[in-house]
Amino acid sequence: MAITLNRPFTGTFYNKTTGTTLSDSGTVPDVIRDEVSNRNKTPRLLWRPPTPYTRYVREGYCDTTELALRLESSNSLAIRSGAHSYSGTYTSVPPPFPQYLVDRAVSKCLDKLKNDHVNLGQAFAERKQTDELIGGNARRIAENIENGWAGRLKALEKDLRRARGPRQIKIILGLIAAARLEIAYGWIPLMQDSFGAVQHLSEREKEANRAIITVKSRARETSLEKTSLGWGYRSYSGLVDRIREIEHQVLVRLDYYKDNGLLHELSQLGITNPASLAWEVTPFSFVADWFFPIGDYLNRLDATLGLSFKGGSASKKTTVKVKPTNGRCTNTGLSTSIVTPSGKGRMMLFNRNTYGASPMVPPPSFKTGGNLSHVYNGAALIAQALSRHGFR
């Protein structure tokens, strides 16, 4: 849904030469949005497949600003307040989402698969509970037998055959009935529970090697943009700095079936990846990895070995906070110059894209840092490696 807001303004311009006063009023249009894509709702079962989803929000002052002016020269006095549009070139939509952030999150997910930093507890918790139920029921029945339940029942049957009076027979029959009820409401439910649990466990064991492995990883980046934009009122003009605080966030979730546990464990040990093994024994490979992580890339190539892809998604969110600052007038010879911009805006774009297959291993890229420490450390590594091989 998009709504156009007409933000009001008022102004007064006094010409000292002619003694005339001009008044201004009007509105400045600005658009706010809250647009949501159709969502396919899926039932909350044991595993909920991801679905595409998009939302775009614009609120506040995204393309306009509140501008309060008081400007005076030898010839005129201008007073203005209210909304004002920008002049000049600026971006009114969120920037494109950087693909390298998605690649970074995918790489972290594959590293978790390779390093087995995944939680299999949920997949096997049900089997553990079933095992405990069966074991606990068996222990209770065994304890009853050890405590002489079977012997007590036989003794009661013998007492019944030797009983002489009606009263004695009635008492013994009551004790036998109580013992039988103990079986009906004690042992039999225990055994039925155990049987049902075993049957359920058997059905689950058919997919024991297809336990679902889920990995999640996030990546985030922030940046700041400043654009100087113009404003004008009557014979006065100036600039306002438009600041955009940009935040990109991505969450990648990947779900896999564990089809071949042994093969996956071998891939975790590095046995199934000859390219990675060859790179590790290459001279100075660790130095190259410091700048261009080829080893990490090769190590991820068999991260999904022994697994089959079940589903996944990349949820990307871009938030842009807009605010004006540092208003100023570019006219000269002013005795009074007050330019006060205000009014904050916010834009948010959320996109969830689904994967139809396991994402490709992102290619390696140069490591960069915010300072020169990474370069210094890399140079030290090279010097150390060369010195070991006789280069001084």
Write down the pLDDT at residue 380. Answer: 52
Question: Which range has the top average pLDDT, 256-260, 367-371, 377-381?
Answer: 256-260
d(CA 326, CA 241): 6
Q: Which amino acid does the sequence have at 216? A: K
Mean pLDDT, range 227-242, rounded to an integer: 92
The interaxial angle of helices 261-268 and 99-115, nearest 10 deg, is 110
Residue 211: CB atoms within 10 A of its CB come to: 17
125 against 311, higher pLDDT: 311
CA 157 from chain center: how many Å? 69
Q: Which residues contact 101 (CB under 8 A, 6 or more apart)?
A: 219, 220, 221, 248, 250, 316
Say which range, 80-94, 126-140, 225-239, 324-338, has the weakest mean pLDDT: 126-140
CB atoms within 10 A of CB 141: 15
Is 50 exceeded by the pLDDT of residue 362? yes
For residue 120, what pLDDT is reported?
Answer: 43
The whole-number average pLDDT for the span 100-122 is: 74
Contact at 8 Å (CB) between 70 and 336?
yes
pLDDT value for 123: 43
pLDDT band per the 50, 70, 90 thresholds, residue 180: low
Please give the pLDDT value at position 338: 94
**Exposed, middle or buried: residue 186 (CB in 10 Å: 0-12, 13-18, 19+)?**
middle
Question: pTM of this prediction?
Answer: 0.63
The residue with greater pLDDT, 210 or 69, is: 69
Backbone phi, psi, residue 95, to 5°: -70, 160
The conformation of residue 89, written as its DSSP 8-state character, comes to: -
Contacts of 232 (CB under 8 A, 6+ apart): 87, 238
Using one digit for the tens of pLDDT, what is the confidence trace for 191-234? 655 565 555 555 554 544 457 788 899 999 999 999 999 999 99
Least confident of 58-62, 87-91, 122-126, 217-221: 122-126
Phi, psi of 65 (to 5 degrees): -145, 155
Question: What is the crossing angle of helices 121-146 and 149-162, to 10°?
Answer: 30
The residue-averaged pLDDT of 7-29 equals 92
Q: Closest by alpha carbon to 9, among 88, 87, 64?
A: 64
Q: Which two tokens stand for residue 317?
A: 């969110």
How big, in percent rounded to 5, are the helix, strand and coil portions of the chain?
Answer: 35, 35, 25
CA dihedral 262, 268, 274, 279 (to 10 degrees): -170
Tell me what pLDDT residue 281 has.
Answer: 42
pLDDT tens digits, 43-55: 655 567 888 999 9
Q: Around Cβ 59, how many Cβ atoms within 10 Å?
A: 13
Q: Is the dihedral angle over the CA atoms 191, 193, 196, 200 positive or is it negative?
A: negative
Over 50: is that where the pLDDT of 81 sits? yes
The domain locations on the chain are 124-206
